[in-house]
């Protein structure tokens, strides 16, 4: 139990990578605060984990929801040791077909939400004299891909913020990590020829693979911090 009694707030915990990460962190003893919009999925996660788990219905694009989520966490458990900025959306479309509404939706869900949660959580981590933040970005946050322009922008933004926060706060013992997966077999990856349960997603990484990387980033170690974990499934070249 390497995270016994640590309080971990996971966004996008209702399914996919966020759900798998919540389960992996809980198995190491962490108390999970699971945030997402779908309350039914959150309730089933809480049931699966059992023990001390709090679910918070939260639209991560709304500053009022984010502030309320962090406030409820502090009221319930008195601290936040781990923040996993995982909630995200994507999509595949030729560049000229994307609209301004698409831009706002993707940037707000992936990039603005990461900033909002960091802004709310870091003051508590400073008071506690430490903490771990993980931004679940993507290989699309390290290089651009066709038909994913806005998504790539949003994922590069998460990388930029993590690098900036790491340099600003590592001396206060706040460790900011990136996990950058390639294709992962989740609801998110449907599209671009892939279907739910289709054989064409079977070569992808699993959500549990990514959860192991998230766990690696937050396990306690006195003399090091994990800066970036880059992952590739076995059916993709680098």
Ligand X SMILES: NC(=O)c1ccc[n+]([C@@H]2O[C@H](COP(=O)([O-])OP(=O)(O)OC[C@H]3O[C@@H](n4cnc5c(N)ncnc54)[C@H](OP(=O)(O)O)[C@@H]3O)[C@@H](O)[C@H]2O)c1
Q: Which residues bind ligand X (CB under 6 A)?
A: 12, 14-18, 36-38, 41, 58-61, 86-90, 109-110, 136, 138, 181, 183-184, 186-189, 207
Compute the least distance from the CB of residue 17 to ligand X, in Å.
4
**Alpha-carbon Rg for the chain in angstroms:** 17
Compute the least distance from the CB of residue 77 to ligand X, in Å.
20
Please say which residue, 40 or 223, places its beta carbon nearer to ligand X. Answer: 40
Please say which residue, 27 or 194, places its beta carbon nearer to ligand X. Answer: 194
Other CB atoms within 10 Å distance of the CB of residue 65 = 18
Nearest to 165 by CA among 152, 156, 174, 154: 174
DSSP class per residue in 100-140 = HHHHHHHIIIIIIHHHHHHHHHHHHHHHHT-EEEEEE--GG
User: Distance between CA atoms of 180 and 163, rounded to whole angstroms?
Assistant: 13
Please say which residue, 22 or 132, places its beta carbon nearer to ligand X. Answer: 22
Are 229 and 217 within 8 A, CB to CB? yes
Compute the least distance from the CB of residue 46 to ligand X, in Å.
13
- Residue 151 designated active-site: yes
Please say which residue, 14 or 177, places its beta carbon nearer to ligand X. Answer: 14
- Annotated catalytic residue: which of 92, 103, 151, 170? 151
User: Distance between CA atoms of 186 and 178, rounded to whole angstroms?
Assistant: 19
Compute the least distance from the CB of residue 147 to ligand X, in Å.
14
Are 81 and 73 within 8 A, CB to CB? no
Please say which residue, 92 or 173, places its beta carbon nearer to ligand X. Answer: 92
Nearest to 151 by CA among 185, 191, 122: 191
Are 45 and 34 within 8 A, CB to CB? yes
Compute the least distance from the CB of residue 205 to ligand X, in Å.
8
Q: Which residues are catalytic?
A: 151
């Amino acid at each position: 139990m390497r995270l016994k009694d640590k309080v971990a707030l996971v966004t996008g915990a209702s399914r996919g990578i966020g759900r798998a990460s919540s389960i992996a962190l809980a198995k190491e003893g962490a108390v999970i605060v699971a945030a997402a919009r779908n309350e039914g999925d959150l309730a089933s996660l809480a049931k699966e984990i059992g023990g001390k788990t709090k679910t918070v219905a939260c639209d991560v694009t709304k500053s009022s929801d984010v502030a309320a989520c962090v406030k409820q966490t502090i009221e319930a458990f008195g601290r936040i040791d781990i923040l996993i900025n995982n909630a995200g959306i994507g999509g595949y479309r030729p560049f000229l077909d994307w609209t301004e509404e698409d831009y706002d939706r993707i940037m707000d869900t992936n990039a603005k939400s990461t900033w909002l949660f960091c802004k709310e959580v870091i003051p508590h981590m400073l008071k506690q004299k430490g903490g771990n933040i993980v931004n679940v970005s993507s290989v699309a946050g390290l290089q651009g891909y066709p038909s994913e322009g806005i998504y790539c922008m949003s994922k590069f933004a998460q990388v930029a913020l993590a690098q900036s926060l790491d340099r600003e706060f590592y001396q206060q013992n706040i460790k900011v990590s990136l996990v950058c997966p390639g294709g992962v077999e989740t609801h998110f990856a449907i599209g671009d020829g892939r279907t739910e349960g289709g054989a064409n997603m079977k070569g992808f990484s699993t959500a549990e693979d990514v959860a192991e990387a998230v766990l690696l980033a937050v396990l306690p170690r006195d003399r090091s911090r994990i800066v970036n974990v880059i992952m590739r499934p076995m059916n993709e070249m680098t």
